Amino acid sequence: MSKTKVNMTVLEYLSNTIAQRGGAYLILLDPDKINAANLKKFCLACEKSGVDGFLIGGSLLLSGDIHKVVTDVKSYSKLPIIIFPGSISQVDENADALLFLSLISGRNPEHLIGKHVIAAPRLKKAGLEVIGTGYVLIESGKQTTAEYISNSKPIPRNKPEIAAATALAAEYMGMKLIYLEAGSGAELSVPNEIVKMVSETCSIPIVVGGGIRDTETVREKIQNGASIIVTGNHFEDESNWSKLKEFADAVHIKEPKEV
């Protein structure tokens, strides 16, 4: 991870990027949906366009090999690789960090703490940087894979106060990030009202992903307090790769300071 400074953690790198550029931009790679033949080309395009790092993982892996994807991406790019785990099997010691997701919007104990107890020893052995993350599903117009697999209800789109109180509880519990998730391929992105109230209520970085398909939506999320933007499905289509820089520029609302 040579883009970061020596001894800098991934969380510090993201925090520095947010402070210096106004936001950080991550691309989500789902091992089930990756075209291996184009992966190198895509990684290089991301790095050239100003993407700040990769999330790797998915709610349900059928044929994808997360170890191979992490290894390949690491050989193609110097950007940080962060595991976005859909299950306890999605751990790879070659990654730079892992989001330790607790599904705080639901009431399924397995996804609040149950799976975490099983995963913790494996993570310690792997030596990964573990970033405690409050994961909040937001109603997005249709049932998402994350919602179905986790057997939990999302927070209603018209209830920003519930999202804000939930996120604040996660911060008080010591989590380092809040991830507001509309879901992979969501019809609707997280409402700006929810992003705004959560960001105004909490003092930790707010990640927003799901249903983001244009730069106008990116700007709206950043202007309403999002710190990190995640896109995935939109750039699985190679015809959209030319827009990578536009998305990165919409996130990076500050000019970098010269050192």
Question: What pLDDT is attached to residue 63?
Answer: 78
In this prediction, residue 2 has a pLDDT band, given cuts at 50, 70 and 90, of very low
For 214-253, what is each residue's pLDDT tens digit? 999 999 999 999 999 999 999 999 999 999 999 999 999 9
Residue 209 CA to residue 225 CA, distance in Å, equals 13
Question: What pLDDT is attached to residue 117?
Answer: 98
Question: What pLDDT is attached to residue 4?
Answer: 47
Cβ 35 vs Cβ 29: under 8 Å? no
Phi/psi region, residue 215 (left: phi>0; alpha: psi -120 to 50; beta: rest), is alpha
Residue 252 CA to residue 18 CA, distance in Å, equals 8
State what percent of residues in the chain have pLDDT above 90: 90
Q: Which of 27-31, 142-146, 151-155, 240-244 has the weakest average pLDDT?
A: 142-146
What's the pTM? 0.95
Cβ 153 vs Cβ 183: under 8 Å? no
Instruction: With H, G, I as helix, E, B as strand and everything else as coil, classify residue 240.
Output: helix
Task: Give the torsion sign (CA, 21, 133, 181, 243).
Answer: positive
Name the strand (E) or helix (H) holding 132: strand 129-137
Is the per-residue pLDDT at 66 higher than 90?
yes
Q: Sketch out the chain's domains with CATH numbers.
A: 10-251 (3.20.20.390)
Is the per-residue pLDDT at 7 higher than 90?
no
Question: What pLDDT is attached to residue 258?
Answer: 62
For 86-136, what is each residue's pLDDT tens digit? 999 999 999 999 999 999 999 999 999 999 999 999 999 999 999 999 999
CA 220-172-95 angle, 5° bins:
70
For 23-59, what is each residue's pLDDT tens digit? 999 999 999 999 999 999 999 999 999 999 999 998 8
Question: What pLDDT is attached to residue 85?
Answer: 96
